[in-house]
Amino acid sequence: MARTQAADYEQRRDAIVEKAADLFAELGFRGASVNDLASACNTSKSLIYHYYPSKEDVLYAVMLSHIDQLVDDVDVMLTEESAPRAKLDRLLHRFMMHYVGAANRQKVLLNDLAHLPSDKRASIVAKQRRIVDAVQGLLTAVSPQLADDSVAARVHTMLLFGMINWTHTWFDPAGPASADMVADAALRMVAPD
């Protein structure tokens, strides 16, 4: 007879992902063991394996929980009826809001992608490319001179991501600058009025 799923199954999986994001961000994927994760979750190693077959599956869940939110942000912005600059502006603000709220997940996504099995890594990379391509489309619509130069368009797009993706290394949400200020400055730098 098949074992039934606990009513709080998804909440427990989410709690493991939350703790794993913190642990992997602090110690790195290789530096954190499943024992460390079990201890952080105040549970047993076998219970971690009940929810996730491997440590790499936990890592993938951490990355998916973050990248899927960013993909959702892109999908919402692309369906809005507004000018490309307004879309890009709102998208950067949404990205910064999520980066601040999920700094550890962002750090894990940036630092530990190579530790995923190739099929899972390809899935994450495809989502990253979808985000980058959408932003590049908005950026070229805002700056038409980039539309005629695909190399310059990609450079501007990647510089934009370079500015915002690494804010987890220096940005303090309790500091004098806001996430909105960072998003506004990034937009002005890649697409001046």
Instruction: Tell me the pLDDT tens digit for each residue of 152-172.
Output: 999 999 999 999 999 988 999
Output the pLDDT for position 39.
95
Q: Mean pLDDT, to the nearest integer, of 168-189?
A: 93
Q: What pTM did the predictor assign?
A: 0.89
Residue appearing with tokens 């290789």: 30
Distance (Å) of CA 134 to CA 2, 14, 119, 155 = 44, 28, 23, 14
Question: Distances in Å between the alpha carbon of 86 and those of 27, 45, 77, 149, 174?
Answer: 39, 48, 9, 23, 27
- Interval 95-104: pLDDT, tens: 999 999 889 9
In this structure, are residues 37 and 23 in contact, taking their beta carbons and an 8 Å threshold?
yes
Q: What angle do CA 163, 136, 95 make, to 5 degrees?
A: 45
Q: Which fold has domain 54-190?
A: Tetracycline Repressor; domain 2 (1.10.357)
C-alpha to C-alpha distance for 115 and 138, rounded to whole angstroms:
32
Q: What is the pLDDT of residue 56?
A: 97
Are 21 and 104 contacting, i.e. CB atoms less than 8 angstroms apart? yes
